[in-house]
Chain A
Amino acid sequence: MKTGQGGPVLSMHDLSKTFIEKKSGEDLEVLRGVDVEIQAGSLTCVVGPSGCGKTTLLRLIGGLESPTSGELRFEGRPVTGPGPERGMVFQEYALFPWRTVCKNVSFGLELEGMTREEARRKADDYLETVGLSGHDDLYPRELSGGMKQRVAIARTLAVEPKILLMDEPFASLDAQTRNVMQEFLVGLWRRTGTTIVFVTHSVDEAVYLGQDVIGLSRRPAKVVKRFENTLPYPRNRTDMGFIELRAKILDYLTGEMEVES
């Protein structure tokens, strides 16, 4: 079991986000006063009711949205836009359909000015890391969902981000593939030690993966509770501790969802 080392790599203080709806004039307040600290090297999961703003939070960290108010710092410096140090993996894979598997993975490497041979070699390394060696010249349309997601992960890993932001990456996969991917992610994290922030709908998944599980409230979301998960890896779903923690988190979430009704 690894714990974070060094100071918080990511810190959010009183972070708020309101979307201004131009057409109807009705503003949508999605996050209100979120306070979170993420340690380097940790695997943190974020759960919450549907539409509560989990994805928005991730997009803020990723620099794809900007906060309405509050502080958001990465390695002590404010976040001003997207960048390769905060890599993102999307639920819809977002692979470039016109590029082969290898060329997808080497996309970020090309930007760094590597030669084609170097980029290809490095891409091959990462493909091996995600277990997709030998699939270099296939196109995304020829891959299964699980394979696509692994290519997406390899692509993001290739630029060696300091933090990996994952937005429900396994939600589109069937149950079996999902389990395999969860195992794979844990293994990857243990090998590489990358900081991971993982957003998910599924409490089961959050308990399986995370050292910490952050529970968000209903919209406008703020952090309700932070659950520590000290179970050893790899985790067992039939384990009593697993079941208890899962029930506990589910309770809190159900409570949150009943608040408004």
Chain B
Amino acid sequence: MRTRTARASQASRRHLVVCVALIIGLCASLALAGCGTSAKTSKVVKVGYLRNDLHELAYYVASQKGYYKDQGLDVREGGVFNAGPEEMSAFSAGQLDIGFVGTAPVMTFAGQGMADVKIVAQANMGGSSIIVRPGLDAPDVAALKGRTIAIPGNATVQDFLLRMALEKAGVDQSEVRIIVVKPPEMLPALASGQIDAAVAWEPYPTMAVAQGSGRVLETSEKIWPHHPCCMVIADAKFLDENPDVVKRFVAAHVKATQYIQKNQLEAGDMAHLFTGQDTAVARAAIKSIEFGFRPDIKKLEQYATFMSQAGVIKDKNAGAFVRGLVDSSFLPGSP
């Protein structure tokens, strides 16, 4: 009797030792995994961007060509988003450090106090067009009177472009019907004649022409040349704690942007790989987009005024709002 109990307690003690050893081993390996892979000087940066968005090509170029790595940055995908507001919500929740996103959602969320971010660089300018359905007899914007026009969202850059174009053509806003349709859905709607015109960003205008679902009536270059489109933003807290990291990121971004400016053909091919878009369409779309890294403060103020008038941002002082939002100190040529 006693021998059996003694042996049993010996066995159970052995089991205990094995379990503890396993647990310690597990914890150790987890800890190692956590800090092991990245190099000693590499800083992890969580980046967000919009799905299939040609405007953010610089992100893809910088990743592929190792510009981020050269700066000692370990850039991880913090999230790929279907639309700007979703990405801004992620910033609200503190999930992203740096992001590529449209000017409209940035200003909307910042203007409502919903996200604390700073614009640290620009991704692109221009790259939008007003397209009309094939059968529409419209030689110019003035002919859009009485028509149904689709924009991708209220208070977006495209909304602003449309209103500018209408004003220039002497058409009052009440003389047209403006509805919101998401860009992928604009194309079939145009083709079937359910809408007369649409304002969208590349590659949708190029795709519309390629598919035969629409023709370009006016490009953004004619309406509001070099208008701000997508921006590079940083979470304000992340920026405060890691200004050096942001500086290095922006440097890599500048290099990528310059690469695209100088190598249009290769950029088109990379765009094809980045978005899965047809190569011919990607190349043509790239030609209509201006890649430039320095945000134009005056134009941003113009846009902020529009948003303030539309009631989308609370600040009535557009200049102060933009100054508080943009931090150009990380761009080359700044002190």
Direct contact of A and B (CB under 8 A): no
**Which chain B residues have a beta carbon within 8 Å of chain A's beta carbons?**
none
